[in-house]
Amino acid sequence: MYGDPQQLRALARRMDEVAQDVRAESRHLDGAHEVTWESTAAVRYREMLTTRAGELQQAVMDVEEVAEALRAQARAVEERLAQIAAAERWVMGMVDELRKHPGWIGGPLADWTAAKVDSLLQTAENLPAPGSQEWLTVADRLGRR
């Protein structure tokens, strides 16, 4: 649904490895400038190496940016999953209260109207699947603060 945070982080680590490999290749190209060779072709060759090294450095920055975006997505997914779990716990707590005390409005339900209780009872008959983002909608509709 949202992606697996562990898989996203694993992919980010792989991107970090790619960036390291490309950075090493860029350093290797920079080292090729030390070749003793004098000619017009040597000048062009060194210019090409400089250009390629710069392109590789840009690629490193791009890959590092992707890795950070993956880590940010993993954090966002974890936050969203935590919100869903909290909403699910809240709704189920209210449903459990009503199941324990049918027709009772008190305790955590003290400020609820009869219409809200009816809405909760109707919801209890058709609850979302565990982990579904629909728990957020249900909790909001029931007035979770």
Q: pLDDT tens digit string along 51-94?
A: 999 999 999 999 999 999 999 999 999 999 999 999 999 988 88
Distances (CA, A) of 113 to 8, 35, 100, 120: 44, 84, 18, 11
Number of CB atoms found within 10 A of residue 76's CB: 14
The structure tokens 């189920």 sit at 92
Q: Give the pLDDT confidence score for residue 55 in this predicted structure.
A: 93
Question: What angle in degrees, to the nearest 10, is found between the helix axes of 40-100 and 114-125?
Answer: 110
Per-residue pLDDT for 105 more than 90?
Answer: no
The pLDDT of residue 7 is 97
- Cα distances (angstroms) measured from residue 137 to each of 84, 91, 94, 116, 134: 10, 11, 15, 15, 5
pLDDT, position 34: 76
With a cut of 60, say whether residue 1 has pLDDT above it. Answer: no
Q: How far apart are alpha carbons 115 and 76 in whole angstroms?
A: 35
Instruction: Check residue 5 and give its pLDDT.
Output: 96
- Across all residues in the chain, what is the average pLDDT? 86
pLDDT at 9 over 80: yes
**The pLDDT of residue 142:** 79
